[in-house]
Structure 1
């Protein structure tokens, strides 16, 4: 069932839930500065339109508006963005009156969405003397001091649809107004010069409220000026590309997609620096690889070489194993790594990190995050907000090393268990992972808690309260490492849609089944082992069971939540900076660095608009010129490890194996054609499922996912776990059996195939496919 609310009371006015058209009008109406016709909104949170939805909408219309003529319009989260206005893309129905006509109009509007999630805005129809559109800045020349007003007699739908040529007025900042009457065949004026000035003033007031130049729809009736719609002028928002230098260093470099799938905004780039933490991880465990990160043409690339080696060209020379061992012993840093590898074994660093996380860090970080999360940022002075942002950045600086160090026990202990089971039991990797089924609790906790709310069948008021608490606890979590992207909590429409899907779902909580699978697999192993082998299996299994959950739990508290808190603080600063005209639009703050934001809060002044404009142009150029997957010549195979010290050799072999399980480089980079109607990848979660494929490129497209869909995507982060509760299967281009999508799919007991290379390019959106997570195949039925 769809959520329905009065337009003027939408709170929060979330575009993902109510659509951008309704959300913008609700924001503007609540200011009290604009006359917006009353209405109701059907949210885009339903999977279909039911008779109950129509009846409730009809009752709401009669209660709020009475028996009046109506205007029924679309309100999609994908229309009226800064990049595309979508004017006229969806159906509008005017002059609707009566229950049957309303039902037909709503269905007609939803039908124009072609299955995409769509809200519906129902307002009292303004019987206009004149109507039209207006631009707060000239959309052709870009002149900011020049408003343009287009007007036609009567209703404005014929202007928007292109049926009538409008009377056009240009209104300067000083109030002077001129029209095109002298050049028109039909010179009958739709509006007067004074009315054109009023409408231009309205457009400018909307721009002041929204922070960017606006394209509005308006109506005049009996002298009253109504605001019908407001959206950004896309032709002015689009930045002019500014080329950036592409300097390729010597050596071999691969695109770093795990933490930087797209070019970072300046704000994110100034906040997130993973290189020092990865270096600490390597030093602590005695890894003999050196990690390096470079910005090449705006995209992040990673290089990796044996310790002490510097690339002399774009082709890495082969290094004999004996030479590598000798270099390690000769270099001071090499000797330190040898000692670190021995020390981590003697002190059992892997299990010590697990115990430290569970006994020291987890509760402390949870309390600290809750304290920061619940602070009222709007009540802080600018100086206090600067201190708050500094505290959040300090939290992230503390948690980032924990993030990378905490992932190591997960990789090492699962790999040790895998190697033992392969040698003593002849098991393949999927069967080994059954020993750990259901233990990555943070992967499924958000969905499990939402399922608990769904199972309670709460009344509407209690459900709203439960969802608000859920959003408070689990919402402070980024869906992407790009801080310009909304957090999970800023997508209440996604949360509501997932709750509705869970309420309608017959799928059981997977926890019991996972526990049974885990116990049965362990019993099967123990029945085939004896003596020392059985004892070693029990030890390795116990270590893996303790370490396996750490990776997903770690991500939530060390990466996703701290980054969300940074975003919230930066957004509050951005609101103040926009109000002070340091820049134009709220999201301009993401084109500032963190130091620039804190400097402004601490009293630094200056016009940041030229800097923001240049950086927007640079990012536009970068996005239009994606670099290749790699630069340079792939290095030769790793040298033999037999000459290395025993502890260094074990760490190198374990991490090479784990790296294959995490990334699956061969499969992730393959290019398939599916000539036989079959794609192949790495089996990641067993089972078979047939359903409609949904191609999802990024987090902004979550609203397109319907219950039971097969999610097909480049890869996922752990924060995508919420949508896994209602999908039928998952297919990814990249990642191995230890990647985030594989872990989450196993926790939800849905089939998964990863490392297909190019499934997102081969599979058609909406196509019927069968995913076999046991064999690693996807069958295309269309």
Structure 2
């Protein structure tokens, strides 16, 4: 397929037909380069979930003729929400339990390496179920946004999206769970002080500590196995390293006014105000149609965030057998750390499990290359250019409101994107590349990142505003910014590159601008 490529994403193709095809990047789910083993995992996942061929250029995934997968007709006829709850969700739970529950430790390394193709298929199956219902579940929300855009004007789509906030959903529930833990700790001064000082090792011996840890472990069982983002199977989950979750509890303790519960109440109030605003702006003859469309779209966020959570749990659960193999190879001297396996290919792992040879030097080179590639700026497509306006209408709508469209060029002091959550806020920009850096975000900072996924959501209670490189007004980042009722600008393409870390910025989530007021 791909013979070679360079850092400018110029590609030499084996098949001339591939060179004339459109290979597009999904910037919402694959905003970052994947590791060598990630290429093997995600190739299977993409082929099973999207039913598309994939190539990887500088670690970035490109899909041939990319479009959201259609929901099977029988699922549409029976009702996608019902099928998801009654059939697909139980199936995904069972797959994830199986991935985490096998006794990998008793398997010889060669046997475990030999079953990795089966593991990849299971991860892909767990991902496929929530993916194939996406189009049908998202359609009412997309149609509502398009209707309000057409009837009200450019502000209409964001107003429509605001109506989908303030409802209970999986991502918001994770934040509320951490808020409940902060409230539990606040009731016991010694416990709260230990958390503020980062003395996790002392919690069990303190008054209230045993109950706090019991509830924290329950939280991790529910939410801890989510991968940090869809394409980051190589990064640890909260179940493995709970420090980020405890840091967020500490942030909520420091400033109770920024708790997720306070944000949820504010979002619900904004939703009610916005409904009245839209009714007043619409022509009288369109108000009944608006109410009907809103009723159909009411489940959008609830199901959308639950789907996303289980996609990520499937990926996080797939780490368990891979790390089990990593521990065996570390004991044999093949790798230094268990997570080094993510920098080897499947064929290499299977060979090394049969005949151990040190790979430390190779892994160090590949880690450095992967880190370098994180700084590259991949184009929207390779091969033939992607022209959204030439796509079928449903695909155009999805690209505009979910994946994000091209925005006006940014200037030296003003970064432009799509307005996604209304309001204006100022604060210090904190450019965060991964959740491992989340501790740098202080209350009132502006979170600037490439993209977000459900595990990032509790950070929104700490931030004054959110700015992302990718996504549209119905992407995860936009949905959760509205859930926390903070300004948000998405799809800037250049925010993480142009906004200096520590600079004072003003985010206008209504106009879609980020103004750099002063350098750090």
TM-score, normalised via structure 2 length: 0.79
Greater percentage in helix: 2
- Structural mapping, 1:263-302, within 5 Å: 263-273=33-43, 274-277=45-48, 279-280=50-51, 292-302=53-63
Q: Deviations over 1:283-340 (max 9, x none)?
A: xxxxxxxx5532335443345389xxxxxxxxxxxxxxxxxxxxxxxxxxxxxx9xx9
Equivalent of residue 480 in structure 2, options 731, 744, 758? 744
User: For residues 599 and 563 of structure 1, do their structure 2 counterparts lie closer, same or farther at Cα, with a shift above 3 Å needed?
Assistant: farther
Equivalent of residue 448 in structure 2, options 692, 712, 718? 712
Contact residue 423 and residue 509 of structure 2 kept, 8 A: yes
- Tell me how far apart the structure 1 counterparts of residues 496 and 278 of structure 2 sit (CA, whole Å): 38
Contact residue 673 and residue 762 of structure 1 kept, 8 A: no
Query: Unpaired segments of 5 or more residues in structure 2?
Result: 14-18, 189-207
Once the 2 structures are TM-superposed, how far is the Cα of residue 383 of structure 1 from its aligned partner? 8.3
Q: Does 1:653 align with 2:393?
A: yes
Structure 2 partner of 1:317:
none
Contact residue 683 and residue 775 of structure 1 kept, 8 A: yes
Equivalent of residue 773 in structure 1, options 499, 509, 516? 509
Structure 1 partner of 2:87:
360
Structure 2 partner of 1:573:
325
Higher relative contact order by CA 8 Å / sep ≥ 6: 1 or 2? 2
Q: Which secondary structure state, in structure 1, belongs to the residue aligned with residue 502 of structure 2?
A: coil
Q: Does 1:507 align with 2:247?
A: no
Structure 2 partner of 1:451:
179
Once the 2 structures are TM-superposed, how far is the Cα of residue 454 of structure 1 from its aligned partner? 1.3
Once the 2 structures are TM-superposed, how far is the Cα of residue 691 of structure 1 from its aligned partner? 1.6
- Tell me how far apart the structure 1 counterparts of residues 396 and 332 of structure 2 sit (CA, whole Å): 53
Once the 2 structures are TM-superposed, how far is the Cα of residue 606 of structure 1 from its aligned partner? 0.7
Contact residue 717 and residue 740 of structure 1 kept, 8 A: yes
Structure 1 partner of 2:193:
none
- Over the aligned positions, Cα root-mean-square deviation in angstroms equals 3.6
Q: Which secondary structure state, in structure 1, belongs to the residue aligned with residue 37 of structure 2?
A: helix
- Structural mapping, 1:150-189, within 5 Å: none
Q: Which has the larger radius of gyration?
A: 1
Q: Does 1:725 align with 2:453?
A: no
Equivalent of residue 313 in structure 2, options 561, 577, 581? 561
Structure 1 partner of 2:434:
698
Structure 2 partner of 1:408:
135
User: For residues 705 and 635 of structure 1, do their structure 2 counterparts lie closer, same or farther at Cα, with a shift above 3 Å needed?
Assistant: closer
Structure 2 partner of 1:762:
498
Q: Does 1:464 align with 2:228?
A: no
Moved more, 493-502 or 440-449: 440-449
Aligned length: 475
Once the 2 structures are TM-superposed, how far is the Cα of residue 397 of structure 1 from its aligned partner? 2.6
- Tell me how far apart the structure 2 counterparts of residues 382 and 597 of structure 1 sit (CA, whole Å): 9
Once the 2 structures are TM-superposed, how far is the Cα of residue 724 of structure 1 from its aligned partner? 1.7
Query: Unpaired segments of 5 or more residues in structure 1?
Result: 1-242, 281-290, 307-336, 642-651
Structure 1 partner of 2:202:
none
Q: Deviations over 1:340-360 (max 9, x none)?
A: 99x94xx68287222211222
Structure 2 partner of 1:605:
354
User: For residues 615 and 704 of structure 1, do their structure 2 counterparts lie closer, same or farther at Cα, with a shift above 3 Å needed?
Assistant: same
Once the 2 structures are TM-superposed, how far is the Cα of residue 504 of structure 1 from its aligned partner? 2.4
Q: Does 1:442 align with 2:170?
A: yes
Moved more, 490-499 or 243-252: 243-252
Contact residue 385 and residue 573 of structure 1 kept, 8 A: yes
- Tell me how far apart the structure 2 counterparts of residues 476 and 377 of structure 1 sit (CA, whole Å): 18
Contact residue 685 and residue 750 of structure 1 kept, 8 A: yes
- Structural mapping, 1:196-207, within 5 Å: none
- Tell me how far apart the structure 2 counterparts of residues 367 and 635 of structure 1 sit (CA, whole Å): 38
Contact residue 435 and residue 518 of structure 1 kept, 8 A: yes
Contact residue 488 and residue 509 of structure 2 kept, 8 A: yes
TM-score, normalised via structure 1 length: 0.54
Once the 2 structures are TM-superposed, how far is the Cα of residue 385 of structure 1 from its aligned partner? 5.7
Q: Does 1:258 align with 2:28?
A: yes
